[in-house]
Amino acid sequence: MKHLKIFSILTIICTMACTRLMAQKFEELAQTPPMGFNTWNTFQININEQMLRDMVDTYVSSGMRDAGYTYFVLDDGWMAMDRDKDGNLVADPKKFPSGMKAFADYVHSKGLKFGIYNCAGTKTCAGFPGTHGYEYQDARLYASWGVDYLKFDWCNTDSINAPDAYRTMSRAIHAAGRPMIFSLCEWGDHKPWFWAKHVGQLWRTTGDIHAGFVDNLSMGSWSSLSVLNILDKQVAIRQYAGPGHWNDPDMLEVGNGMTFDEDKAHFSLWCMLAAPLIAGNDLRKMTDQTKEILTNKEVIAVDQDSLGVEGFRYYSFDGLEIWVKPLAGNNLAVCFLNRSSREQNIYYDWKDHEITDGVSKIDIDFNKTGYSLRDLWLKKDIGTTNKTFKQAIGSHQVIVLKLTKL
Ligand code: GLA
């Protein structure tokens, strides 16, 4: 009996140790969805040190940093076309005359974290040197520069196995010894939500976004996806996300050409999805409206809620939807979305609609429990669930409410 007990204890200790040894990523990172800025959506490969330094300054002076944005990520286009004689990647000397370490130091000096991009293939999507075959060497180089975040793409990967390639890079980062968020960008092609929980902190779930609300945009051989199209693709995979491992419906297009209402809806829905919030607009030219959206701390708090549960579509009829996100402390965020092209009227008696969710195990009957309501865009308390909620909602608008238990 005594031996059996000792054996069981040893088995438990061994299992814990083995799990730890097998762990491939820095498990403690990104307990809430990462927040930051990335160059791609506005600049593509047209980046350079001076412009980026200005952007870093604006990141701070605009209040983005204080609103919780932390990472400053360079996407494709930062490299020279060839590795050096030792096989090391080189920052394009014309774009980055001071070198990448100096730029990383600048980002850090502003209290921000620094991110960079490469690709699992032989070349990046824009044709720069890829990491295939250089995983450990590249990871060591990034660590020596002070990189805190690596976005890893999926172009030019013809005969490469996705889970293997991403696991290799994840191990390489771990071996380099500097904690880095590892952002998988294989567009959901190999269903990373099934295998990437211990590989990286976030994984793209779809192809690329564009600044359009309803319609996809044809790019010839592929299509760039609209906000609503991407939204619909998240419904079936929400249970795979959680603290440290997030579904990534792609970076934000707020401020990049949609209407104010559409930008607000896009941002709100990404927060309902507990999505990484990676701004993709030119921060130097941000309008007050764009800033108001990106720095709304009450809406951001929905995204960053410590429970880390991705929201779900609770109701959908005739273009009107209700999304629900369970929050810590038995609270809820509720987002009304009008996808249609006409104004609609919401007439919603909370007591007629019990909310249950198998993922977060909530079961709310508003006849038994009342909640106070706060409109997070109006920043106003607007009553309780004891009264019917009546409001008009314009085309492509959202109303985001926080429900706090009375
Ligand atoms: C892919 C990614 C984008 C961006 C570009 C860069 O399309 O999905 O987010 O990183 O490559 O070339």
Q: What are phi and psi of 32, to 5 degrees?
A: -120, 160
pLDDT of residue 22: 52
Name the strand (E) or helix (H) holding 203. Answer: strand 202-204
Residue 373 token pair? 């309501």
Q: Strand 331-338 to strand 398-405: parallel, antiparallel, or no bridges (unpaired)? A: antiparallel
- Helix and strand numbers, DSSP H then E, in the chain: 10, 20
Sign of the four-CA dihedral 390, 391, 395, 400: negative
Q: Is the pLDDT of residue 4 over 90?
A: no
* 45 C-beta closer than 6 A to ligand 1: no
pLDDT in tens, 284-305: 999 999 999 999 999 999 999 9
Is residue 305 flagged as an active site residue? no
Q: Which of 41, 44, 73, 76 to mutate to test the pocket of ligand 1 (most atoms within 8 A of CB)?
A: 76
The Å distance, Cα 153 to ligand 1 centre, comes to 7
User: Is residue 341 over pLDDT 90?
Assistant: yes
Q: What percent of the chain has pLDDT over 90?
A: 94
173 half-sphere exposure, CB direction, 13 A CA radius: 30
Residue nearest to atom 6 of ligand 1 (CA): 76
Q: Mean pLDDT across the chain, nearest whole number?
A: 95
Q: What is the pLDDT of residue 15?
A: 44
- Does the pLDDT of residue 163 top 90, yes or no? yes
Q: How far is CA 253 from the centre of its chain?
A: 12
> In sequence order, what E strands does 53-163 have?
71-73, 113-119, 149-153
Task: End-to-end CA distance of the chain: give it in Å, rounded.
Answer: 52
Token representation of residue 214: 């309803």
Q: What is the pTM of this model?
A: 0.94
- Given the CA of residue 185, which atom of ligand 1 is nearest to it? 8
Query: From the CA of 98, how far away is ligand 1's center (Å)?
Result: 25
Calculate what percentage of the chain has a pLDDT beyond 70. Answer: 94
Find out whether 238 and 253 touch, Cβ atoms under 8 Å.
no
Q: Which atom of ligand 1 is nearest to the CA of 151?
A: 10
Q: How far apart are CA 221 and CA 304, in angstroms?
A: 36
208 is catalytic: yes
Q: What is the structure's pLDDT at 24? A: 85
State how far the Cα of 37 lies from the Cα of 62, in Å rounded to an integer.
13
Enumerate residues 6+ apart whose C-beta is below 8 A from 344: 318, 319, 320, 338, 392, 393
In this prediction, residue 211 has a pLDDT band, given cuts at 50, 70 and 90, of: very high
Q: What would the pLDDT profile of 244-271 be if each residue is shown by its tens digit?
A: 999 999 999 999 999 999 999 999 999 9
Select from 58, 87, 89 the least CA-distant residue to 72: 58
Closest CA to 166 of 142, 145, 190, 137: 190
Task: Annotate 12-29 with b (16+ C-beta within 10 A) or e (fewer).
Answer: eeeeeeeeeeeebbbbeb
Q: Average the pLDDT over 208-221 and give the result.
A: 96
